[in-house]
Amino acid sequence: MKLQSLLLISLASVAVAAPSWWEQWTIKKHESVIVADDDMRLVQVAENEAPFYTSEKERMEMLRSNIHYMDITDNTDLGTYRAKSLGKKPLPSAAVHQNKVARYVDQLSTANMEVALTEFTKFHTRYYKSETGHQSAQWLYKQISDLIEETDAESDVSIRKFEHDNWKQFSIIARFEGKNESLTNEPVIVGAHQDSVNMWLPQLRSPGADDDGSGTVTILEVFRALVNTGFRPHRPVEFHWYSAEEAGLLGSQAVAKSYEKKGVDVIAMIQNDMTGYVGTKFAESYGIVVDYVDEDLTELVRVYAREYGDIPVRETKCGYACSDHASWAKAGYRSAFAIEGDFSDSSPYIHTANDDVSHISFDHMKQFAKLALGFAVELGYYKGDK
Binding stretches for ligand BES (CB under 6 A): 63, 66, 68-69, 211-212, 245-246, 248-249, 273-274, 318, 321-323, 339, 343, 346
Q: Closest CB to ligand BES among 226 and 247?
A: 247
Q: What are phi and psi of 239, to 5 degrees?
A: -115, 125
CA 93 to chain centre: 25
Nearer to ligand BES, 322 or 377 (CB): 322
Can you tell me the distance from the alpha carbon of 241 to that of 384, in angstroms, rounded to the nearest whole number? Answer: 27
66 binds, among Zn ion, ligand BES, none (CB under 5 to 8 A by kind): ligand BES
**Residues near 250 by Cβ (< 8 Å), separated by ≥ 6?**
71, 74, 128, 164, 167, 243, 244
Quick check: 117 and 355 in contact, CB under 8 A?
A: no
Q: Is 211 in the site for Zn ion (CB under 5 A)?
A: yes
d(CA 177, CA 51): 39
CB of 127 to ligand BES, least distance (A): 12
* Contacted by 339, from Zn ion, ligand BES, none: CB < 5 to 8 Å by type: ligand BES
Q: How far is the CB of 211 from ligand BES (least distance, A)?
A: 4
Q: For residues 67 and 147, which CB has a smaller minimum distance to Zn ion in the complex?
A: 67
Which residues are CB-contacts of 171 (< 8 A; sequence separation ≥ 6)?
161, 162, 164, 194, 240, 241, 242, 243, 251, 252, 254, 255
* Cα gap 101→98, rounded to integer Å: 5
Instruction: Give the one entry of ligand BES, Zn ion, none that residue 322 binds, where binding means its C-beta sits below a cut-off of 5 to 8 angstroms depending on kind.
Output: ligand BES
Rounded to 5°, the CA angle 321-322-325 comes to: 80
Residue 372 near residue 272, CB atoms below 8 Å: yes
Told to check if 324 binds Zn ion by CB under 5 A, we report: no
Partner touching 128 among ligand BES, Zn ion, none, CB below 5 to 8 Å by kind? none
Through-space distance between the first and last CA atoms of the chain, rounded to whole angstroms: 48
Buried b (16+ CB within 10 A) or exposed e, 132-170: bbbebbebbbebbeebeeebeeebebebeebebeebbbb
Q: Candidates 165-173, 265-273, 282-290, 333-341: pick the segment binding Zn ion (CB under 5 A).
A: 265-273
Tell me whether residue 227 or residue 269 sits nearer to ligand BES (CB atom). 269
- Which one of Zn ion, ligand BES, none interacts with residue 54, CB within 5 to 8 A by kind? none
- Asked whether the beta carbons of 274 and 214 are under 8 A apart, the reply is yes
Task: Quote the least distance from Cβ 321 to ligand BES, whole Å.
Answer: 5
Smallest distance, Å, CB 361 to Zn ion?
17
Q: What is the smallest separation between the CB atom of 210 and Zn ion, expressed in angstroms?
A: 8
Q: Which residue number, 62 or 227, has a Cβ lying nearer to Zn ion?
A: 62
Given candidates 23, 58, 265, 273, which one binds Zn ion under the rule CB under 5 A? 273
- Nearer to ligand BES by Cβ, of 235 and 257: the residue is 257
Burial label, 386 (beta-carbon count in 10 A; 0-12, 13-18, 19+): exposed
Nearer to ligand BES, 230 or 348 (CB): 348
Rg (CA), the chain: 20
| Using rule CB under 5 A, residue 212 touches Zn ion | yes
Whole-number Å distance between alpha carbons of 255 and 163: 10
Nearer to Zn ion, 190 or 267 (CB): 190
Least separation in angstroms between residue 272's CB and ligand BES is 10
- Closest approach, Cβ 94 to ligand BES, in A, equals 28
Give the nearer residue to ligand BES in terms of CB position, either 74 or 307: 74
Q: How far is the CB of 251 from ligand BES (least distance, A)?
A: 11
List interacting residues with Zn ion (CB under 5 A).
Answer: 211-212, 273
